[in-house]
Amino acid sequence: MKIDTTKSLVDMDGNVLIQPKQGPKDADGHAEVIQEELKVREILVNALLAEDPKNPTPGTEKLKLFKLAQRINDNDEVTLESEEVTLIKNRVLTGFTVLIAGQVVILLEGDLG
């Protein structure tokens, strides 16, 4: 399944969700805070990289999760196998709010265009 990782997430009224991010640092080392749209890519990557202290990821799985997160992070569109979709859905559902998880899972299931 192909996933557009550049899709922006929205609130219940359809407004694009905005998040603060650290911008480039100036010569003094101070960084400006910039506002960016929250993209599906960030949710997918963060879901794969997050660690649940109640259910730690076995060491053998960590490299697999990292490589998948890296592939998603490096591409505007990514093709996922069905087992990768299931893995990501489970991690998103346990790690994010209803607003975020709902949109991402619908996208992963192919019901949102």
Chain segment 37-90, per-residue pLDDT in tens = 999 999 999 999 999 888 888 988 999 999 999 999 999 999 999 999 999 999
Q: Is pLDDT above 80 for 5?
A: yes
For residue 31, the model assigns a pLDDT of: 87
The residues with which 31 forms a beta bridge, in sequence order, are: 25
Q: What is the number of other CB atoms lying within 10 angstroms of the CB of residue 79?
A: 10
CA distance 89 to 37: 21
Q: Are 57 and 91 in contact (CB under 8 A)?
A: no
pLDDT of residue 91: 95
Q: What's the pLDDT at 29?
A: 87
Q: Model-level pTM?
A: 0.87
